Amino acid sequence: MKRISILISAVLLLAGCSPTATPKEAVTLVAHDSFVISDQLKTEFEKTSGYQLKIVRAGDAGSMTSKLVLTKDAPIADVVFGIDNTFAPVAKANKIIDGELKAVDYADVCFNVDTEYFKEHDLEIPSDWRDLTKPKYKNLTVIENPNTSSTGLAFLASTYAAFPPATAGVFPSAVTWWLAFRDNGVKVASSWEDAYYTDFSGSAGKGKYPVVLSYSSSPADELDSKGNPRTQAIRKDCFRQTEYVGVLKNASNSTGAIALVKFMLSKSFQKALPEAMYVYPIDQSVSIPDSWLRNAAPAITTIGGELDIAKKRDSWLGDYNWVFDVAP
């Protein structure tokens, strides 16, 4: 899931020791670029487990999964975090995980809008993402490429859930909608980070697109001086995304890997997830700050999660790549 605040440089020490003991050896975690862990939590893991924590970043979830498939005989880490329910079938089919992936967090992939832009241009905020193909929203939206981005793939699944299958000999309704979306000037970014931090006008990047494919929780990190969100999520028919952690096959430190997985499912780590990465902890007993919950409400409705993503993924991507003329 995606971190919505540029704090990464302040909280990442790729290696380090606890103040009271020298770690036994290193355990390496590979994660997507938006993964965040505080110094305090990192120290807690190293102190309680005795292992030094190292972190490798490998792009968005799709790019990371592809790298792990290519390096599965000599993995670049011991543990992976950030493979989600759209790319989990790829991990399973290529047998890169030792045992099972374990759910860590979840969030809802929804469009976000820059409310100030819509106010200044006297433009109605759409209540349904299907409306983004209308002429009045031309050239306003940026999304992520589903070939490389889990966010993009999640939305791709949503479109196939939203439109009924077409009759024989006719393009699927989802493809018809994508063609209209393309012709309405949607921009396709390679990753969530690029779309949100560079292209979206409502984030720190101050880009030129006032609509971005992100998360229902994203507005919690775009607050004004009075604590009010400057962005708003379109919370109808979003995709419920779940992120997993797992031990990689052929890991050089499988014992340390198991300890790290256990730590990421502990209450200490789970409690930190909302404010660290703006996602909901999978542990339902963990309390969520009221202020965060007010500004990061989950989707009103979700779609797409019930589809057989593993079976349909290649076909969907083929349709998408044909529409946007992009390489897989």
Q: Return the DSSP state at 185.
A: T
Look at residue 156 and tell me if it is in a domain.
Answer: yes
User: Considering the entire predicted model, what is its pTM?
Assistant: 0.84
Tell me the per-residue pLDDT of 37-54, one tens digit each, with 9 for 90 and over.
999 999 999 999 999 999
How high is the pLDDT of residue 17? 42
Residues 140 and 78 in one domain: no
How high is the pLDDT of residue 16? 42
Look-up: residue for tokens 């929780």?
217
Tell me the per-residue pLDDT of 92-144, one tens digit each, with 9 for 90 and over.
999 999 999 999 999 999 999 999 999 999 999 999 999 999 999 999 999 99
Look-up: residue for tokens 């439109």?
163
Mean pLDDT lowest among 61-75, 159-173, 260-274: 159-173
Look at residue 3 and tell me if it is in a domain.
Answer: no
Residues 207 and 132 in one domain: yes
Residues 251 and 185 in one domain: no
How high is the pLDDT of residue 294? 85
Look at residue 69 and tell me if it is in a domain.
Answer: yes
Residues 168 and 303 in one domain: yes
- Indicate the pLDDT class of residue 327, thresholds 50, 70 and 90: low
Residues 267 and 308 in one domain: no
Residues 178 and 303 in one domain: yes
- The span from the CA of 183 to the CA of 135, in Å, is 10
| Structural domain span for residue 124 | 108-240+299-324
Tell me the per-residue pLDDT of 183-237, one tens digit each, with 9 for 90 and over.
999 999 999 999 999 999 998 878 999 999 999 999 988 888 888 899 999 999 9
Look at residue 269 and tell me if it is in a domain.
Answer: yes
DSSP helix/strand/coil, 59: coil
pLDDT of 322 strictly over 90: yes
The CA-based diameter of the chain, rounded to the nearest angstrom, is: 69
Tell me the per-residue pLDDT of 243-256, one tens digit each, with 9 for 90 and over.
999 999 999 999 99
Judge whether 89 and 309 are in contact, CB under 8 Å: yes
Look at residue 59 and tell me if it is in a domain.
Answer: yes
What share of the chain has pLDDT > 90, as a percent? Answer: 76
The residues, ordered by sequence, that sit 6+ positions from 216 with a Cβ below 8 Å of its Cβ are 107, 108, 110, 233, 235, 238, 296, 297, 298, 299
CATH of the domain at 44: 3.40.190.10
H-helix segments, the chain: 8-11, 39-49, 61-70, 88-93, 115-120, 150-162, 173-183, 192-193, 254-264, 267-277, 290-295, 309-324
Residues 226 and 187 in one domain: yes
- What is the rounded average pLDDT for all residues in the chain? 90
Residues 305 and 200 in one domain: yes
Looking at the structure of the chain, the number of domains it has is 2
Residues 262 and 175 in one domain: no
How high is the pLDDT of residue 24? 74
Residues 166 and 303 in one domain: yes
Look at residue 1 and tell me if it is in a domain.
Answer: no
Residues 198 and 319 in one domain: yes
Look at residue 223 and tell me if it is in a domain.
Answer: yes
Look at residue 2 and tell me if it is in a domain.
Answer: no
Residues 118 and 19 in one domain: no
Structure tokens at 71: 């390096």
